[in-house]
Amino acid sequence: MTAKKEQDKETKHPNNSKDGRVGARGWTPPNTKGDMNNNNNDNNNTDTQDKIQYNTNTPNNLKTKKFQLRYPKKRIKDPSIYYIIKHYNVIPNILRANITEKQIGFMIIELEGKEKNIEDSITYLKSRGIKVNTFKTGTQLNKNKCTQCSLCIAHCPTGALHIPDKKTMEIEFDREKCIECRACILVCPFGAINDDLNGNPDTDI
C-alpha cells in the first residue's frame, strides 16, 4: 500500500517540496529503513511489508513537515519529542540529531500528523525555548556551481543524488529522497550543495 502510494506521489508530484507534501514519505515501519534502500531495490518496501504486519494506512488529512530544532543548553535533557508524541499524536522521524550534553542541541525532524497537531507541537516546542526553523527548501544543488564531477554520489545514503543517464553522466537531485544528512555538503569541493540553515548548524547556539 505504502509503496504503491509513494510511487503514485512520485509520478504525480516529483518536486512538490514546498507545499506540505501530503504523506510524501508516508508512514514506513520503523525497523525497515524506508527510503534508505529504495535506490537499490524498488520492491524493498513491499517485501518487508509481507513479513511484518503494520497498520500502514495513512489518512489523507495527515501532513508531513520538516523542521530544524535548536535546543538551548538547559533544555538538552528534556524529553520534548516524547511529549509531542504523547500529547499531540504526531509521528516524528528524526533525520539527523547532534545533541551533546553541555554543548549543543540540534535536530532535523520530520513530523507527520494532522496539521493542527503539528502546529500545536511546534507551539509547545517554542514555549520550551527551543528554536524552530521551518525548511523553505532544505538541501539544494546549485547547478551553476556544480561541475558534475559526481564526487557526492557515493556519499549519498539514499540515492537522492544520482546519475539517471550513464551516457551523459549528469547529476540529478531528488529532493523527496533527501534526509538532510549533509554528507554531500561536506564532500563537495565546489560548495555547490547548500541547505538553508543559517550558518553552520554544528556549532554552538
Q: Which of 91, 99, 132, 151 binds another protein (CB under 8 A)?
A: 151
Of these, 57, 168, 198, 203, which contacts another protein (CB under 8 A)?
A: 168
147 binds another protein (CB under 8 A): yes
The amino acid occupying position 162 is: H
Per rule CB under 8 A, is residue 82 in the interface with another protein?
Answer: no
36 binding another protein? (CB under 8 A): no
Which of the stretches 45-53, 82-90, 133-141, 150-158 binds another protein when contact is defined by CB under 8 A?
150-158
Task: Work out how close the CB of 184 gets to another protein at its nearest, in angstroms, rounded to a whole number.
Answer: 11
Q: Is 169 in the site for another protein (CB under 8 A)?
A: yes
Instruction: Say how many C-beta atoms besides its own lie within 10 A of residue 39's C-beta.
Output: 16
d(CA 86, CA 88): 6
Which of 91, 99, 132, 163 binds another protein (CB under 8 A)? It is 163
Instruction: Report the nearest approach of another protein to the CB of residue 178 (Å).
Output: 17
Cell representation of residue 121: 507541537
CA-to-CA distance for 37 and 11, rounded, in angstroms?
Answer: 19
CA 95-93-134 angle, 5° bins: 70
Q: Output DSSP code: residue 92.
A: E
100 scored as a contact of another protein (CB under 8 A): no
Should residue 190 be labelled a site residue for another protein when binding is judged by CB under 8 A? Answer: yes
Q: Of residues 43, 57, 127, 189, which one binds another protein by CB under 8 A?
A: 189
148 binds another protein (CB under 8 A): yes
CA dist., res. 135 & res. 195, Å (int): 9
Q: Supply φ then ψ for residue 159, to 5 degrees.
A: 75, 20
Distances in Å between the Cα of 26 and the Cα atoms of 35, 94, 127, 137, 189 are: 10, 14, 28, 19, 34
* Residue whose grid cell is 520530520: 110
Percent helix, strand, coil in the chain (nearest 5)? 30, 20, 50
Please identify, among the stretches 14-22, 83-91, 119-127, 149-157, the one whose residues bind another protein according to the rule CB under 8 A.
149-157
Min dist CB 145 to another protein, Å, is 8
Which CB atom, from 36 or from 163, has the smaller least distance to another protein?
A: 163
Give the footprint of another protein on this chain (CB under 8 A).
147-155, 163, 166, 168-170, 186-187, 189-191
